[in-house]
Structure 1
Amino acid sequence: MKVLRRMGLALLVLVGAAALFVRYATPDTAPSEVVFLGGDIVTMGDPSVVEAMWIKDGRIEQLGSESAVREAAGSDAEIVSLDGATLMPGFIEPHTHPLATALLGSAIDVGGFTHDSRAQMMETLHEALGGFLPQPWIIAFGWDPIMIRNLAPPTLEELDELSPDKPLVILTQAMHEAFANSAALREAGITRDTPDPPGAAFGRDEHGELTGSVLEVNAVNYLLRALPALPPALTELMLRWTLADYARGGFTTIGVLGPVGRAEDPIGLLRGLGDDPHAPVRSVVYGLPSQLDLDEKPDTNHDTRFELRGVKFWMDGSPYTGGAAFAEPYADTELTREELHLKPGHMGPLNYELGAFIEELGRFHRAGYHVAVHTQGERAIERVLDAAEAVLKTDPWEDHRHRLEHNALITTEQIQRAKALGFELSFFTDHIYYYGDRLRELVGDRAERYMPVGTAFRAGHRATLHSDNPMTPIGPLRVMR
């Protein structure tokens, strides 16, 4: 609630100040030459650890012994002692959503990281909604029926009681489901007659009336598109703060896999920050299909703080909403029946027919874009690989570096096939760290092969691991455990 009230004041006060802060809050100069010494300097090469490092104009000039580096650098370099600490290369976060993270920093926190029960979450909502809220929409974030046991979804009646007139939306931790009050549904143009989007649904009761539940990305986007955009200067300021959080977490490069979040021009905003020499991290962006112009090629200069490299698709949804397109039905358990409201035998949908995805993949492939696809279940992975095989047969590209993202239940055969087709794999291992104790309730014995990172490495993949922030917190060391 304190964050929300601060954000309310920010809306009134910071709009004018934000532009000044953005321009003047960072120093204009930094030492052109620096020598680091006095601790272990990890090189990730041979030798693996050295005593000193000389940096000139942002580039590593020399690594080696303290005496050799001091002699090479001369007297002009500033000396920085590590005082026994370790200096190492920065981490790369291959899959994250900084704009969404920035904007959700103003939301009411109802997450499982800070709450233990539904009662606590509802108390937080009541307390926050009783305060000063100048925002035209009220957003809460973090509802999590997997982390919080016996968490029944909020009803439309509860949501309308919390906020009778102002739109209220509660996003789940995975951001693949939302709960909206009547005002939000009305503003988004969602009625009982609105058809369900591909691979998604608007929750309805036995009489066909809306329940307020909005399932999966293509449906949640109805709500996100209706959200009023914040003033651009304020959005930029919040995004700068978020990029600084990644830097404090040890990252020097982040992969923005779909710039989701309400902003007038998300890619333009990220590009503008990348043009700033003081940007704390480098952003490699995979835009949404609707954000990209195929007449403009992806960036080929890899030596900048912004690079538009590819496009992001979703072939299926979240395992925690029933959206993952597994090869076999979800397990029939109390979690799936009573908390996720899945019927026995439920199978998550695919978002594209094969022919349609061959066409979409082919368009971006031929334009030179790297293609990243959200795939959790085996059927989703198979659909992407089938489409890629067809596209590569007619339009070969030896080093295309297309990607499969998350890969919860990818099989050994699919891992091998992906390798043969030149696909890269990135795994969302926080599923194990935060939700491992409940995976059997979702997929039964298949939990034994959930996120098979080791199998991918043994098959010769240079697989990556990611946190998909804001779904899980920034923290590279946790992700690599």
Structure 2
Amino acid sequence: MNNEIKQCTYINGKIFTANQEKPYADAMVVRDGKVAWIGCQADLRKIDGDFVDLQGQRVLPGLIDAHLHPLYLANAAKQIACTPPLVYSIEDLIKQVRSLRGAQGKDRWVEGWGYDEGKLLERRSPTRWDLDQAAADVPVIITRTCAHIVVVNSKALDLAGITKETPDVPGGQIDRDKDGEPTGILRENAKDLVTRIMPVKTIEENAELLAELSDVLLAHGITAITDAMGRTEPTDYLEMYNAAVKKGLKQRSALYYIWEDLKKHPMLEKEKTDLENQIHIGGVKLFTDGSVSGQTAWVNPPFLGDEENYGIQMTTKEELLAAGEAAKQNKLQLVVHAMGEQAIDFIVDTFYGKKGWLTDAPSIRIEHAAMPTLQALQRAAETGIAFVTQPIFLFAEIESYHNNLGAGRTKKTYPVKSMLEAGIKVSFSSDAPATAWADPVNPFVGIKAAVTRLAYDGTDTGQEQKVDLETAIILYTRSAQEITRIPKVGQLAPGYHADFIILDQDIFELDQEKIDEIQVIETFMGGNLVYINENLAIR
């Protein structure tokens, strides 16, 4: 870590600025933490103060993850990663649960994340009876890759009071066998029946985890983040994130609070929503449906092989309008999860023709936007609704998409090129760790997926919807800023924060199939070096 540098000039670089007026440069002057000048080195008359020779390395603006679950990601690092190369089958999962149960003892829950039945040898989800084989005496909870579904063992069902007689909850489903017995699989809001009885970490413990995660994100070049699941209880996220800053969290962060929590605990005071704060509340969040890979997205036509399954509708028009009004009154964004055709239409049609309340960004964001209809694209563009989507989903979860939608329909999902051509503001993000990938937050995996439209195994995910590399980077930088509203980031231009990254390979010259191999050499925030890969250091 450097002490703060008042002025430093960077020369001999290949700088992609993400600034429309001057996209490329080879020199940059940073003063008091912000870009003072950027352009052609030949135009520099003299270099005052310190200077750094970038030695021809590629420089990008700091990356922005516009839809992320940092606390979940930080906790996942301490859990069983139920993904290849550790888990390929339910038998592998049983062994991992048994191993962790042995290591932890009898007083702790066994937790895991990331299983995808499409990748498992058995081609089915694990059940309570599978988990009981591994650990019958302690509660076990394994979260599916999409984070919309969990599977628990019999001990966890008992502790939560879930029996054959327990009814489904609104917006949720308890899976049952032919005799009506719960299988341990809990979808959408039904999973809350278990998660609400789990032990709660202290603010200090969670803050420590977030501070540790900060360095992981910086190693990926991510300098600004969001939390798409802000809660008021049992821990207030704003308080937790501010505590994490004191422990070393460096990213500029926007939190989107769950509408259900805000209804019970209104807390949108002006000082908490000030965009200039490193940690601030940026929006009101609610769910319209679930996930495509978990077959809980609200779709039309229905999922492949089940003519009765149109997914789960998770909110009402009244709730949607009420959340929108709360966002409007507090000058925040309305942030709505929607994947299926019906879910996206539901949001777009509810707000179609209504004037937005924000002047500096889209007032309404649709998160994921997996399967928009042509009408939804047109109406979203006319209404100024933004889409925040995740190219890593098709890349990592291709088996489940093919199983649930078929190959033809899969290729039409996440139609990024069509979104942009319609005039919709779009941003990329990861939704980490809610995808079946060992390193789910890696932005270079997402960029590769967007420009190749190929899955990890080479499967074509829709060549008509791929975008060029420059566009993909912009959707992780400038466009992400324009949607998240985190101020003065996302591009390297005079007056913007000097948040930038140096890559070990030139992303513009590299074979696109190898983009996911790129590593960050150094990450700077406010002109200060905040991360260095010692194995790749250039000076």
TM-score by length of 2: 0.75
Question: Among 436, 442, 453, which residue is 2:416 paired with?
Answer: 453
AA of the residue aligned to 2:303: Y
Mapped to 2, the partners of 1:160 and 1:436 lie a distance apart of: 29
Which deviates further from its counterpart, 99-108 or 222-231? 222-231
Aligned residue type for 1:267: L
Match of 2:204 among 233, 239, 246: 233
The residue matched to 2:343 in structure 1 has which SS?
A: helix
1:429 to 2:408 alignment: no
Query: Aligned pair 1:162/2:129, yes or no?
Result: no
Which of 256, 259, 262 is the aligned partner of 1:289? Answer: 259
The residue matched to 2:296 in structure 1 has which SS? Answer: coil
Residue of structure 2 equivalent to 1:5: none
Shift in alpha-carbon separation, 1:330–1:261, aligned structure 2, 3 A = farther
Equivalent residues of 2:28, 2:35 under 8 A apart: yes
Q: 2:60 aligns with which of 79, 85, 88?
A: 88
Give the Cα–Cα distance (whole angstroms) in 2 for the partners of residues 329 and 410 of structure 1. 15
Asked whether the 8 Å contact 2:68–2:430 carries over to 1, the reply is yes
Q: State the partner residue of 1:48.
A: 23
How far apart in 2 are the matches of 1:118 and 1:452?
A: 33
Q: Which has the higher contact order (CA 8 A, sep 6+)?
A: 2
Q: Which has the higher helix share?
A: 1
Question: Is the deviation greater in 237-246 or in 93-102?
Answer: 237-246
Q: Distance in 2 between matches of 1:438 and 1:179?
A: 17
Kindly state the Cα deviation for residue 220 of structure 1 after the two structures are TM-superposed: 1.7
CA 1:54–1:329 in 2, change beyond 3 Å: closer, same or farther?
same
1:238-253 paired onto structure 2 within 5 Å = 238-253=209-224
Preserved CA contact (<8 Å) 2:208 2:244: no
Q: Following the alignment from structure 2 to structure 1, what is the Cα–Cα distance between the partners of residues 134 and 78?
A: 18
The farther-off stretch of 349-358 and 449-458 is: 349-358
1:306 aligned onto 2:270: no
CA apart distance, 1:257: 1.3
Cα distance in structure 2, aligned partners of 1:295 and 1:282? 20
State the distance in 1 between where 2:331 and 2:357 align: 11
The CA deviation at 1:260 is 6.8
Aligned to 1:38: 12
In the TM superposition, what is the alpha-carbon distance from 1:54 to its structure 2 partner?
1.9
Structure-1 separation of matches of 2:134 and 2:247? 45
The one-character-per-residue Cα deviations of 1:416-464 (angstroms, maximum 9, x if unpaired) are 1011111001222222212335533312332231111111111112211
1:373 to 2:336 alignment: yes
Determine the structure 1 residue equivalent to 2:174: 202
Amino acid at match of 2:7: E
The DSSP-based 3-state class of the residue aligned with 1:152 is coil
**Residue 277 to residue 114, structure 1, CA distance change in 2 (3 Å):** closer
How far did residue 249 of structure 1 move?
Answer: 0.7
Q: Distance in 1 between matches of 2:277 and 2:85?
A: 36
Report the aligned-residue RMSD: 2.7
Which residue type is aligned with residue 258 of structure 2?
L
Q: Give structure 1 stretches of 5+ with no counterpart.
A: 1-26, 333-342
- For 1:196 and 1:437, how far apart are their aligned partners in 2? 28
Q: What SS does the corresponding residue of 1:480 show, helix, strand or coil?
A: helix
Deviations along 1:291-337, whole A, 9 cap, x unmatched?
435463465543332221101111000112220111111111xxxxx
d(CA) in 1 for partners of 2:131 and 2:402? 31
Residue 195 of structure 1: CA displacement? 2.7
Equivalent in 344, 347, 350 of residue 384 of structure 1: 347
* Partner in structure 2 of residue 13 of structure 1: none
The structural deviation recorded for 1:385 is: 1.9
In 2, Cα distance between equivalents of 1:285 and 1:251 = 16
Residue 466 of structure 1 deviates from its aligned partner by: 1.7
Give structure 2 stretches of 5+ with no counterpart. Answer: 449-539
